[in-house]
Structure formats: C-alpha cells, structure tokens
Amino acid sequence: MKERPARPHNTSQEKALEVLDRSEKVGLVHTVSNVARGIFYVCNCCGCYCQILRGINEFGIEQLVAKANYYAVVDQELCLGCGICEERCQVHACTVNEVSIIDLNKCIGCGIFVNGCPNEAVKLNVMPDAEIIHPTDNYKAWEQQRLNNRGLIK
C-alpha cells in the first residue's frame, strides 16, 4: 500500500482566504461547525455531494445544522431575472419567474448567490433577534444539542 505524503495541519490566513474565495467563485457553500470555541471543521460544499446539503435537499430537514443567521433578500427593481442565483443556490431556495424569488423556508443564509449577482440585486439581512442561532460552547455540547433536537436523547 502506497503511503500518502504528510499534509501540513496549518496554513496561513492569506492561503485560507484564497481557498475560500476560489470556492465561492465556483458556487460552493462555506460550512463550519457552529461552536464558540474549537472549530471542528471548515468545508466548502455543493448540494450534490455534501451530506448536510443533500439532507436538506432530499428530506427537507427542519432543524438543520447548516442554517446561518442571515436570509437572502432580492431587490425586485434591480433583478434582471438572469437565473444565476437559481443556478448557484445549493439548496434550491431560489427560483426565477421574471425576477428571482427566495423561499425563506429553504434559504440557509449562505449568500452564495449574493456575490454572483451581476446587478447586485441580492443581499443578506440578519435574522430578527428572536431567530438568531447562538452557537454552543464546544463541539460536544453541539452534538448533544443535535441529538436532543432530533429526539434521540432527553
């Protein structure tokens, strides 16, 4: 069996931001573990292969892990109806019928099509205070919260 070369565990902030920028340009959604301390993962995902995004797309998960504290808003006056937002949305929350329409029940607030809009017709707004998701302190607490939300523990 061929041994894989060791990969560095650290990267510069500049290199990390470069990877995030490239990922955004091709339409990948940034996901992270939503914890206050000790980031467990950073991922750049599509709706085809990412298990979290596929779960949202295929099963309509209500208590989703991936939702951000933002939601997309379209300026109907600026929208050209070009369809780029619909192509870029990894959770199928955007449809175009003359202008872009966002299904807020599906929108995870990732903003992937905000930066892809040629007319800057889409922006992200912060959720109302009552809907803000506050991260748990650490990954173990996050796992417990997920199990509790799914009714698997009390």
At 79-138, the pLDDT tens digits run: 999 999 999 999 999 999 999 999 988 888 888 888 889 999 999 999 999 988 888 888
* CA pair distance 57, 97, nearest whole angstrom: 21
* CA pair distance 153, 137, nearest whole angstrom: 19
* CA pair distance 132, 29, nearest whole angstrom: 20
* CA pair distance 46, 30, nearest whole angstrom: 9
Name all domains of the chain by residue range, CATH numbers in brackets. Answer: 13-132 (3.30.70.20)
Say what the pTM is: 0.76
Q: Each residue of 34-66: pLDDT tens digit?
A: 777 776 778 888 888 888 888 888 887 655 566
Contact 69, 102 (CB under 8 A): no
